[in-house]
Amino acid sequence: MAPSPSVKIDRAVITAAGRDQRRLPLQVLVDSDGVQKPAIRIIIEEALSAGIEKVGLVISPGDDDAYQVALHDSPAEIAFIEQSHPGGYGHALLCAREFVQGGAFLHLISDHVYLSGTQKRCAEQLVEVARTEACSVSAVQPTREALLQYYGTVGAKGLPHKRRLYQVEKVVEKPTPTLAEQELIVPGMRAGYYLCFFGMHVLTAEIMEILDEQQRALKNGALGLSPSLSELSRRQKYLAYEVQGRRYNLGVRFGLLSSQLALGLAGRDREEILAQMVEVLATRPQAQ
């Protein structure tokens, strides 16, 4: 059942159980408000800005104590959901099937932080679009070809008279540049750029049905999310929305550094940070 404008999307699922992902959300950053906090708190605050009341956090066995400490005074109602074995991203999301109770939900990954370019935060923008369009919507960002190895990428066409909105036709996880050029070109997109996932989605309950079907059919290996999203695009209206903002991937090389700089430069300490950067550059040893 697709969400309608009258349906309140009040649940979010955050996945934090990936082998290379599980500890990144516990890294402490200085947020744009100047307060030190674990990245997972920043991400949950992003969800709360969109009217979310309950958060299901998918974690690996044994990680609950660390996350409870990090979130001990969070204003959100948090349910910890264990992914019993490393079955892949899609399997992690499927673990939250009971939590979402058959409704539409906001989904965020736990190794990205998000900075809006407007007064509305990124998750708030996305949820508003999903309510208006009454369907699943994935946030996307034009991304350089060199970074395709890190992101799911969509093939899509822009919707007439609806700026920043695209009809999704295909989803491929971490495509090669050759495949992207052959199958994922978006009309009007700047050369060398593709629409890659932003790290947040509003998804209807249909995605859980598809994940369950694909899990049952899987002989071995990990269950991904991108194939299920491709199938979703064949079954029902599914859009991509170019969020007015930027995502920062904690898991790439220098990801924590670039995320911290972005948060700092967006906040009240911008001038101090710029002064420190100038000082570092001025005192950098000269190459011999």
Report the CATH number that the domain containing residue 58 is assigned in CATH: 3.90.550.10
- Asked whether residue 151 is assigned to any structural domain, the reply reads yes
What pLDDT, on the 0 to 100 scale, is given for residue 1? 45
Q: Does 270 reside within a domain?
A: yes
Give the residue ranges of the chain where pLDDT is below 50.
1-6
Instruction: Please answer whether residues 50 and 127 qualify as being in contact, where contact means their C-beta atoms are separated by less than 8 angstroms.
Output: yes
171 part of a folded domain: yes
Show the 3-state SS of 120-161. CCHHHHHHHHHHHHCCEEEEEEEEEHHHHHHCEEEEEEECCC
**Residues of the domain holding 149:** 11-282
User: Do β-strands 165-173 and 152-158 pair in parallel, antiparallel, or remain unpaired?
Assistant: antiparallel
- Side-chain-side CA neighbours of 281 within 13 Å: the count stands at 6
Write out the two tokens for 155.
């093939």
How many CB atoms are closer than 10 A to CB 141? 20
Specify the pLDDT at position 267. 86
Q: Does the residue 246 lie in any domain?
A: yes
pTM over 0.85: yes
Assess if residue 179 is contained within a domain.
yes
Sign, CA torsion 13/26/68/64: positive
**4 assigned to some structural domain:** no
Quick one: pLDDT at residue 284?
72
Number of domains in the chain: 1
pLDDT attached to residue 287:
58
What pLDDT was estimated at residue 5?
Answer: 45
Residues 159-202: tens digit of each pLDDT = 998 999 999 999 999 999 999 999 999 998 999 999 999 999 99
61 token code pair:
């066995």
Does 229 map to a domain? yes
6 within domain boundaries = no
